[in-house]
Chains A and B, each alone.
Chain A
């Protein structure tokens, strides 16, 4: 499976936008980019996914580079409830998600 690289941790102030980067230079043409987040003491929660075009939903936006070798998850206004580990994952034709270490997002009031 193609790998992703994310910063170990990031900090943000409450009510400010957050841009979480992910590098995936070995992505193949059929890999989808999935983002999940895991709040403390909970299972992972699906956030968003995309293939080539930028995507928006009620939780976040996903910006995908034109060459697809990187992507950015955008939280438009961080709240304390957004403090979590965010995982960027490449999913191919199979059903398995291969999680890496993720980015621990800390939100300061």
Chain B
């Protein structure tokens, strides 16, 4: 049973560029959340998608946007990249709009902005 799949695993972008990260949730899960983890820190919540709509958002600027597709997979887009956007981006899937049990996290996409 595949868990959460994220692609690509590593990415290097130049300041000012745009990036798209992709996530396939665990089989049977319909909700996708995205987290950003800077080096040495705990993950920070970006937003959550359920039924193809953004349902909850953390304290991130509008440069961060997302999308969820009918098959529950999701994309995270970041525009006008800043050096400070360099981080591990984690996708987490769950079942249902309200998190009752635990998330299943992917291994993340390591984004480096130069």
Name A's B-contacting residues (CB within 8 A).
34, 36, 41-47, 49, 87, 91, 93-102
Contact = CB atoms under 8 A, between A and B. Distances in A.
B45 A49 contact: no
Q: How large is the interface on B (under 10, 10 to 19, 20 to 34, 35 or more residues)?
A: 20 to 34
Contacts of B101: 46, 49
Contacts of A95: 31, 33, 48, 55-56, 94, 97-99
Contacts, number: 55
Interface stretch (B11-19, B77-85, B105-113): B105-113
Interface string B33-72: 1010000011111001000000110100000000000000
Nearest to B106: A43
Contacts of B104: 46
A42 B107 contact: yes
Given A96-B56, A97-B103, A99-B35, 15 more contacts: A34-B102, A43-B105, A44-B105, A46-B103, A46-B104, A93-B98, A95-B31, A95-B33, A95-B48, A95-B94, A95-B98, A95-B99, A96-B33, A98-B45, A102-B42
